[in-house]
Amino acid sequence: MKVRKMVLLAVLIVVQGLGYSSLADGNADIEALKKLVEEQNKKIDALTQKVHDLEEREQGKSATAARIEAVDQKVQAIEQEKSKTTPRLSISSEGFTMSSADTNFTLRLRGIVQVDSRTFLDDHGLRGNDGFLLRRVRPIIEGTLYHDFDFVIVPDFGTGGNGGAAAAPQVFDAWLNYTYSSALQFRFGKFKLPVGLEALQADPDTMFNERSFASQLISIRDVGAQMQGQVLNGRLSYAGGVFNGVGDNRNSSNSDFDDEKEFAGRLFAQPFKSSRFGCLKGFGFGLGGSYTRSFTAAGLPNTTGGTNPGFVTDGQQQFFSYKSTVTAAGNHWRLSPQFYYYWGPFDLMGEYIVSSQEVSFTTSAKTRRFDNSAWEVNASWVLTGENAGYQGIIPDHPFNPHSGQWGAWQLVARYEQLDLDRSIFSRKPALSYADPAVSAKEAQAWSVGLNWWMNKNVRVNGSFTRTTFSGGGGAGAAAPATVTRQPENVIFTRVQLAF
C-alpha cells in the first residue's frame, strides 16, 4: 500500500503541473483537463493492480520458502535419527573398521607381514642359513562388545623365529579384556607376560629384526588372567597376573603341562609425563618380575636353532644348549629393571634381566640353581626430525617421490650381552649341565642399522650384527659347535607391512 500511495502522489504532481501550465498558456479547457485526469486515474489503477499482484506473488514466495525450510528440517531430523541406527564402515591406515552407530560394537581387521633376509658372512662353510623368510604373517582380528569388552585374536603363519625353519600355524594372542575404568581392567586368555620392556613392545615397532638377548630370558606369551591399569593421570601403570608357566623365550602351547602356576607383574612409572618441560616427558622406568615352579623340560629355554633347550644369536642360531638329560626341577624366578627415554628424534632404552632356575639331571634328584643374566641398551636418532617413540615413528612427509617426499629415516644402534652361570659347566663331563666344548659361556653382540619408515604402514629395515663368544668352538657337526667356532656376522633386511 505504501508503494501505491507514492505512485498516486507522483501522478497528481505531474497532473497538477500539466494543468497549471495549460491554464497559464490559456490553451486548455476544463473538458481536456477532466479527460486527462481520467486517463491518469486509469493508469494509477493499473499500476495499483500491478503492485497488488507483485505483493501477492512475494507473499506466495515467502510461504513456499517457509514450506521448503520445514521440509528440510524434517529431512535432517530423519537423517539424524537414521544415523543413530546405521552401522559405520571406515578404511584407514588403522585397518578396516566396522562399528555400530553408537560404537558400542566394533570389529577391526588389521595385519602384519614381515619379509626378512639373513646373510651370514665368514661362516666357514655353514649351509642353509642364508635366504629370505616370512618372519611374521599375522592377520589380526580385534573388536569391542558392549563398549567395555575388548577382544583380540592373532594367528601366525610365519616362521615364529624358529631358526628360519617352517613352523606350524599357531595362535599367538587370543584374549578378552574388560575395562571398568582406565585404572582397573581385567584380561583373560593368551598374551604377553608383564615382565620385559623390549618384549612388550609391539612387533612392528622394534628397532631391529630380532629382539635382544635380554628378551630371551623371559617367557613370551602364556595363558592366564591379569589385572592392569593406569593411575595418577597415567604416570604409573601396573599389571599383575597368574599364568600356566613356560620356560625362557617360549610361547605357550595353549594348555598347561604341570600343576604349577606362574605369577608375573610389572610397575612402570612416567613421573614427568605431564611436565611442562619437554625434555623430561619421555622418561620412564620400571621393574618387572615373575615366579614359578617347574619340573619338566618344557620349563627350560626354547629349542630354537637346535635340538636341546638353549639360547640363540640375533641370527637365530643356537650358541648354548643344556644337555638332553637336564630338566627343570624347582623354583624359577626372573627380575627385570628397565627404562626408556624419548626426547624429540632421540631415544634410549635399556634393561637388565636375571633368570634364576633350579634344574637337575633326569637321572638324579639333586638340584642346582643357575643364575643366567642378560642386558641390552639401544639408541636411535630420527634423521628427518620426527619424534621417536615406543610405538614407532609416524613420518611427517609420507613417501611420495612425485611430490619430493621420502618418509622418515632412523639410525639405530644396540649392544647386548648374555652371561651363563659358570656353575653350569664343570671340568668333569658327567657333572656338567652343558658341554663346555661346544656351548659358549658368554655372548656379546653389537648392531647398527638404518630404518626407513616410508609411511605409517610400510617400513624397510637394514642392519648388521656381529656376535662374539666366550667358550665353545669344539668339534661337532651341529649347533652350538658349528656356531661358536667363529664370530657371527649377519646382514639383516626387512620389508614390513603393518596396519
- The confidence score (pLDDT) of residue 218 equals 96
The arithmetic mean of pLDDT across residues 353-362, rounded, is: 97
- The confidence score (pLDDT) of residue 192 equals 97
The string of pLDDT tens digits covering residues 250-261 is 999 888 878 899
pLDDT surpasses 80 at 101: yes
Least confident of 74-83, 147-156, 197-206, 209-218: 74-83
The string of pLDDT tens digits covering residues 389-440 is 999 999 999 999 999 999 999 999 999 999 999 999 998 888 999 999 999 9
Rounded CA separation 111/93 (Å): 11
The string of pLDDT tens digits covering residues 74-97 is 777 766 766 667 888 999 888 899
Helix axes 30-83, 2-25, angle to 10 degrees: 160
pLDDT band of residue 15 (cuts 50, 70, 90) is very low
pLDDT surpasses 80 at 70: no
- List CB contacts of 117: < 8 A, sequence separation 6 or more: 131, 132, 133, 491, 492, 493, 494
pLDDT surpasses 70 at 384: yes
- The confidence score (pLDDT) of residue 189 equals 98
Report residue 80 as a C-alpha cell. Answer: 539424524
pTM to 2 decimal places: 0.82
3-state per-residue secondary structure call for 285-302: EEEEEEEEEECCHHHCCC
Among residues 424, 443, 444, 442, which one has the least CA distance to residue 432? Answer: 424
- Locate cell 607376560: which residue? 193
pLDDT surpasses 90 at 292: yes
pLDDT: is 433 or 21 the higher one? Answer: 433
Four-residue CA torsion sign, 50, 56, 59, 63: negative
pLDDT surpasses 50 at 351: yes
pLDDT surpasses 70 at 16: no
The arithmetic mean of pLDDT across residues 212-230, rounded, is: 97
pLDDT band of residue 36 (cuts 50, 70, 90) is confident
Q: What is the CA radius of gyration of the chain?
A: 39
The arithmetic mean of pLDDT across residues 333-350, rounded, is: 98
Report residue 251 as a C-alpha cell. Answer: 610361547
Least confident of 18-22, 302-306, 397-401: 18-22
Question: Cβ–Cβ contacts within 10 Å for residue 200, how many?
Answer: 18
Q: What is the mean pLDDT of the chain?
A: 89
- 466: burial class by Cβ within 10 Å (0-12, 13-18, 19+)? middle
pLDDT surpasses 90 at 58: no
Among residues 197, 201, 202, which one has the least CA distance to residue 218? Answer: 197
The string of pLDDT tens digits covering residues 468-496 is 999 999 988 899 999 999 999 999 999 99
Q: How big is the CA angle at 312 (ends 308 and 318), to the nearest 5 degrees?
A: 50
Question: What length is written for the chain?
Answer: 499
- The confidence score (pLDDT) of residue 160 equals 64
- The confidence score (pLDDT) of residue 19 equals 46
- The confidence score (pLDDT) of residue 29 equals 62
